[in-house]
Amino acid sequence: MSEFDQPDAGTQPPTFYTPPGAPVWNLNGIVSDLKLSREVTHNIRPRGTLHQPPSRDALDRVVRLLSATMFPTHYGKTELGPENIDYYVGSTLNSALVLLVEQIHRGLSFSGDERGHEAIQRSALAIARDFASDLPAIRGLLVGDLRAAFEGDPAANNYPEILLGYPGMTAIIHHRLAHSLYGLGATLVARLIADIVHSKTGIDIHPAADIGPSFFIDHGTGVVIGETTVIGERVRLYQAVTLGARHFPTDDEGTIIKGAPRHPIIEDDVVIYAGATILGRITIGRGSTIGGNVWITRDVPPGTRITQAKAERE
pLDDT band at 190 (very low <50, low <70, confident <90, very high): very high
Taking the CB of residue 16, how many other CB atoms lie within 10 A of it? 9
Q: Is the pLDDT of residue 3 over 60?
A: no
Q: Is the pLDDT of residue 4 over 80?
A: no
CA distance 111 to 104: 11
CATH 1.10.3130.10 residue window(s) in the chain: 53-203
Q: Which amino acid is at 179?
A: H
Q: Is the pLDDT of residue 1 over 50?
A: no
Any idea which of 43-57, 115-129, 297-311 has the lowest mean pLDDT? 43-57
Q: Which residue has the higher pLDDT, 263 or 45?
A: 263
Q: Could you name the CATH architecture of 53-203?
A: Orthogonal Bundle (1.10)
pLDDT band at 139 (very low <50, low <70, confident <90, very high): very high
CATH 2.160.10.10 residue window(s) in the chain: 222-314
Any idea which of 31-35, 158-162, 185-189 has the lowest mean pLDDT? 31-35
pLDDT exceeding 90 applies to what percent of the chain? 73
pLDDT of residue 2: 46
Judge contact between 131 and 184, C-beta under 8 A: yes
DSSP, residue by residue, the chain = --TT--PPTTTS-------TT---S-HHHHHHHHHHIIIIIT--SPSS---PPPPHHHHHHHHHHHHHHHSIIIII-TT--TTTHHHHHHHHHHHHHHHHHHHHHHHHHHTT--S-HHHHHHHHHHHHHHHHHHHHHHHHHHHHHHHHHHHH-TT---HHHHHHH-HHHHHHHHHHHHHHHHHHT-HHHHHHHHHHHHHHHS-EE-TT-EE-SS-EESS-TT-EE-TT-EE-SS-EE-TT-EEE-S---B-TTS-B-TT---S-EE-TT-EE-TT-EEESS-EE-TT-EE-TT-EE-S-B-TTEEE-SS-EEE-
Q: Is the pLDDT of residue 117 over 50?
A: yes
pLDDT band at 80 (very low <50, low <70, confident <90, very high): confident
Any idea which of 10-14, 49-53, 215-219, 284-288 has the lowest mean pLDDT? 10-14
Q: Is the pLDDT of residue 135 over 50?
A: yes
**Residue 302, C-beta contacts closer than 8 angstroms, at least 6 positions apart:** 267, 285, 286, 287, 288
Any idea which of 15-24, 25-34, 41-50, 144-153 has the lowest mean pLDDT? 15-24
- What is this structure's pTM? 0.86
Q: Looking at mean pLDDT, say which of 7-16, 20-29, 121-130, 250-259 comes out highest.
A: 121-130
Q: Is the pLDDT of residue 102 over 50?
A: yes
CA distance 102 to 100: 5
Nearest Cα neighbor of 65 from 128, 144, 130 is 128
Match domain 222-314 to its CATH number in 1.10.490.10, 3.30.465.10, 2.160.10.10, 3.40.50.300: 2.160.10.10
